[in-house]
Chain A
Amino acid sequence: MNKILLGASMLILSLATALTSAAETAKTITLMTHDSFNIGKEVIARFEKDNGVKVRFLKSGDAGSALIQAILSKDNPLADVFFGVDNTFFSRALKAEIFLPHASPLLAEIPAALQLDQQNRLLPVDYGDVCLNYDRQWFRTHQLPPPADLADLIKPAYRGLTVVENPATSSPGMAFLLATIGRFGEAGYLDFWKKMRDNDVVVANGWEDAYYGHFTAASKGNRPIVVSYASSPPAVVHYAEKPLSEAPTAALVADNTAFRQIEFVGILRGTKELELAKKLVDFMLSKSFQEDVPLQMFVFPANKNAQLPEVFVKHAVVADKPVELSPSAIEANRDSWIEAWTNVVLR
């Protein structure tokens, strides 16, 4: 038995050392992010070559869990740079004081509307509009006009057609709840949701389940309207099995129907590679990174000089007038809004 014991401890030890030491030989900079982050191989390779550094990616669950892990480890940070704070978690992130200011010269190329932090602790990288998507074919065959406003969803003709995500467990779900608060006001949104419930809305707990489990255009579901992103239609074309000339789905971005999610990057307080971290952030705002963002993460680049890929130009739409809610109002009311929503829709 001693042999087994010895063998086991050797195994664990060697595993641990092999895996930890391998990553630490070259000079590295660590980017902590959520599981949906993605970027092209050669884009990152360019940065690594130019700066003689290796970029290490730490994936830490969904956007919410990644941020909490960054906050919990603030005394001894896990990474140098953190990407993936969105405007719904923005205030929480700043309140935790985990980010260092960095006035990147590239901020000049980014629209002021996206720059939410005066002190530049969090810098905008990309944005996407959370909005309704609908199945074009379904509305054609059923000879029903597709929804043109959120208020259409509670009409009798649209009964049983919509699937949304639960704001308590899903970030697009939360964003859509915020869209309805912006559209109907704090006084009216619960009334809207009450009518949604009466109109047989289905609530799924996550985007994957709503889209691939209930949406007619993507599964054997029976709901032709789903809450997704304005950039989902180009993704459907890009990832079609057979080439498509028209997107099978469309996004509704009429005024006051969409919520704009902005994703930010920041340098973690306590980094030992401040100069490199600054360089990485600058790189993430620069054209070469920004032009790769759309097809990797299916969101829009924050840098206005970045060229959009063809599939975006053809099939993507942007909301002219998305709902506007300040991050501090979101942070202050998140708990009570979700609670009230849950009581009206689920209980």
Chain B
Amino acid sequence: MKQPRPLFRWAVFSLPLLFLLLFYFYPLGKIVLLSFLPDGNWDPARLGKLVNSPVYGRILWFTCWQAALSTVITLVLALPGAYVFARYRFFGKNLLQALMTVPFVLPTVVTAAAFRALLGTNGLLNTWLMHGLRLSQPPINIDQTVAFFLLAHVFYNYTLVLRIVGGFWGGLDPDLRAAAKMLGASPWQTFRRITLPLLMPAIGSAALLVFIFCFTSFGVVLILGGPGYATLEVEIYRQSVQLFNLPMAAALSLIQIVVNFLLMWLHARLGKRSRIAFYTDSASGTAIKVESPAEKILIGVNLLFMVILLVTPLLALVVRSFTGQDGLTLAYYSALFTTQARSVFFVEPIAAVANSVGFALAAMTIAVILGLLASTFLASARERGAPVSSFWDAIIMLPLATSAVTLGFGYIITLNRPPLNLRDSLALVPIAHALVAFPFVVRCILPSLKQIPQTLREAATLLGASPYQVWRRVDIPIIGRAILVGAVFAFSISMGEFGASAFVTRPHTPTMPVAIFRFLGQPGDINYGQAMAMSSILMLVTCSGFWLIGRLDASKKPPQASL
């Protein structure tokens, strides 16, 4: 069988590459150059501290270890959950899965409020414990500690592992397990020797995303960790916005990019070696009903954990949005429709929802198309082109690992002339979202795409299928679920206005997060209540959207085997 022609591969990759060049490398390159050479001269004076002061070394070290630790904890906690979701069918699975994705869209300030309502000094848990155990001091004091933001990182990233690994796990051939069992392997041996090696690409993908996400953590560390902790991302913001030290900000951005690039390149290299081809014709068909008591306990424990970690904080927000001074109230929801109607920036909640969903759909479309093309390009590089492909694999992940402030400022100085006069246009919003979402999509699709046995495509070709037909009839049905997972994340990232968009200048278009921030910007019960009410609406919209997608996915017949 011939390798796919290089020309075809590069044609497929041209669109993602063009996108990256225009909206990533060009703005980034220009802002870094401008920062280092403000008047065309290299002036290292403002960079002196980088080498002289121990502070930056400490920040880099802190950023690395907290990201690594967050990743390990998230994996350990979420892998059992992924197993349960992959293996079993149970009541409420779809709803729970939709709920798990909600943290992804919540602004950090709101998440912080939720966690404080539960675990803060005067929070629910402390109040109960003080009553129940007759204590005079609150026993839990985790506000502004490492534990608090590690918890929040798990809260945000749990769903990543659950969906990416769980989705992949569900696609493993159950016959393999049965065969191992028949040959006398214990369940542990089967897991260790068969399942784990097959899962590695998906686990690697999820771990990489969690790591980068935590590495570039801005709001979570800023708010929950308190001012004693700073990640590189926080320091970049501080250097550029507060101190106007652009050379230092650019240098720190580059350090952040280089560290992440090396890591991702390493990941791609290692991933090359551990590739095993397999495929099952139906992913949903392998989930089974719960039977033995041991299974019931396993599922029960996992579901309980998910509810405690993820659902209770969300519930606390919803409860708060209905609680006034004298108990239950709808005052905050009705205020959303009435007060500040005089303001030029007032927006009906419906319009905010429409804006958010509109941007999210546009960003999702761009990210999925680009992600699909880039994944096809990366997967079709067979062993021959391994080093080159690892390089591109790492390059594609860079937007996620890049400082939002730096990139946002880059847009200001580059996309400022026709035909690309986009810097203050609304179109830049979905583009900036898609730039961050697109690496997510690639990481979701790539493991599934790579595991498709080449023999399958060869067989199709032998039977007379054109390359397009092979792609459409063989690849797409097998990776359908992975595309869906990628789309879900792309949508969420845009709904939550994650990353660069926070620093993109734009005409006033109130999305839900924008409205939430506006309410939280002024004192007063009504403002806080409205922020909680708008957050609840944001959660409701996100959750019901994903629940519907899950329903559609489940009601679809398992994809037809192409052979």
Q: Which residues does A use to contact B, with CB under 8 Å?
A: 1, 4-5, 8-9, 11-12, 15-16, 19-20, 23, 30, 32, 35-36, 38-44, 56-62, 64-65, 68-69, 72-73, 76, 78, 92, 166, 168-169, 174, 202-209, 211-213, 218-222, 228, 232, 235-242, 249, 296, 298, 334-335, 338, 346
Contact = CB atoms under 8 A, between A and B. Distances in A.
Contact of A206 (B222, B241, B416, B427): B222
A58 B507 contact: yes
B227 A241 contact: no
A254 B306 CA distance: 51
Contact of A64 (B242, B472, B508, B517): B242
Contacts of A205: 222-223, 226-227
A13 to B, nearest CB: 9
A35 B523 contact: no
A201 to B, nearest CB: 11
B201 interface: no
Contacts of B271: none
B526 A203 contact: no
B272 interface: no
B524 interface: yes
B238 interface: yes
A223 to B, nearest CB: 10
A236 B15 CA distance: 52
Residue with the greatest number of chain A CB neighbours at <10 A, chosen from B339, B342, B522: B522
B269 to A, nearest CB: 29
Contacts of B34: 72
22 contacts: A1-B472, A19-B425, A19-B426, A20-B422, A30-B424, A38-B343, A40-B343, A40-B344, A69-B412, A72-B412, A202-B226, A204-B223, A218-B523, A218-B525, A219-B116, A220-B123, A232-B523, A235-B522, A239-B339, A241-B525, A241-B526, A338-B242
A260 B404 CA distance: 31
A255 to B, nearest CB: 24
A296 B343 contact: yes
A59 B504 CA distance: 9
A89 B405 CA distance: 18
B525 A78 contact: no
A142 to B, nearest CB: 15
B409 A68 contact: yes
The 5 closest A-B pairs by CB, nearest first: A239-B524, A64-B241, A19-B426, A239-B526, A220-B122
B345 interface: yes
Interface in B509-526: 514, 517-518, 520-526
Given A16-B427, A78-B505, 6 more contacts: A19-B427, A32-B505, A57-B344, A222-B122, A235-B524, A240-B525
A4 B369 contact: yes
A242 B325 contact: yes
A263 to B, nearest CB: 14
A212 B223 CA distance: 12
Nearest to B405: A65
B365 interface: yes
A76 to B, nearest CB: 5
Given A20-B421, A204-B227, A298-B522, A209 B112 contact: yes
B425 A20 contact: yes
Given A8-B15, A39-B344, A239 B144 contact: no
Contacts of B508: 57-59
Given A5-B15, A39-B344, A169-B227, A61 B503 contact: yes
Given A65-B241, A239-B524, A8 B365 contact: yes
Given A72-B412, A169-B222, A169-B237, A213 B113 contact: yes
B25 interface: no
Interface in B15-59: 15, 34
B399 interface: no
Nearest to B241: A64
Contacts of B548: none
Contacts of A204: 223, 226-227
Contact of A235 (B227, B329, B344, B523): B523
B244 interface: yes
Contacts of A76: 416-417
A228 B506 CA distance: 28
Contacts of A69: 409, 412, 505
A241 B144 CA distance: 30
A41 B343 contact: yes
Contacts of B417: 76
A168 B238 CA distance: 6
Contacts of B245: 335
Contacts of B109: 208-209, 212
B418 to A, nearest CB: 9
Contacts of B425: 16, 19-20, 23
Contact of A241 (B226, B329, B344, B365): B329
A58 B505 contact: yes
Contacts of B524: 235-240
Contacts of B227: 166, 168-169, 203-205, 346
B529 interface: yes
A346 to B, nearest CB: 5
B243 interface: yes
Contact of B518 (A35, A43, A62): A35
A298 to B, nearest CB: 6
A346 B227 CA distance: 7
Residue with the greatest number of chain A CB neighbours at <10 A, chosen from B424, B472, B518: B424
B113 A212 contact: yes
Contacts of B241: 61-62, 64-65, 68
B65 interface: no
A166 B495 CA distance: 29
Nearest to A207: B521
B507 A241 contact: no
A239 B523 contact: yes
B6 interface: no
B462 to A, nearest CB: 21
Residue with the greatest number of chain B CB neighbours at <10 A, chosen from A4, A76, A235, A239: A239
B468 A1 contact: yes
B427 A20 contact: yes
Contact of A169 (B242, B518, B523): B242
B430 interface: yes
Interface string B231-263: 000100110111111000000000000000000
Interface string B473-514: 000000000000000000000000000001101111000001
Contacts of A220: 116-117, 120-123
Contacts of A58: 424, 505-508
B521 A208 contact: yes
Nearest to B365: A11
A240 B113 CA distance: 19
A315 to B, nearest CB: 12
Nearest to A167: B242
A32 B237 CA distance: 20
B528 interface: yes
Contacts of A346: 227-228
A1 B15 contact: no
